[in-house]
Amino acid sequence: MADARDSLTDGELQSEIELVGDLVVAATSSDGPLPQEEIDRLLGVEADQEAATQEAGHPAEVDPGQKIDPDD
């Protein structure tokens, strides 16, 4: 039979709590707002993710009146 503590363990939730903890520690030790690059680093987000998305043909913003050619 599984131990009661083992059945209440959620690895994904624990990882998220650790990420939030890392952000809190960094924010409290900072003299001002954390730069976006530091937040991304703490969260493990790749800095070039937006650039890669744009290179893949997904524009960051689309003008509501802009016509999109599916052949482009």
Q: Averaged over 65-72, what is the pLDDT?
A: 70
Give the tokens for residue 59. Answer: 């524009």
pTM: 0.50
- pLDDT, one tens digit per residue, over 17-55 is 999 999 999 999 999 999 999 999 998 888 665 555 555
Amino acid at 28: T
- Cβ atoms 58, 64 nearer than 8 A: no
* Rounded Cα distance, 21 and 26, in Å: 9
Select the more confidently predicted residue: 33 or 8: 33
Calculate the alpha carbon distances from 7 to 17, 33, 60, 65 in Å. 18, 39, 43, 53
In order, the DSSP letters of 32-52 are SPPPHHHHHHHHT--TTHHHH
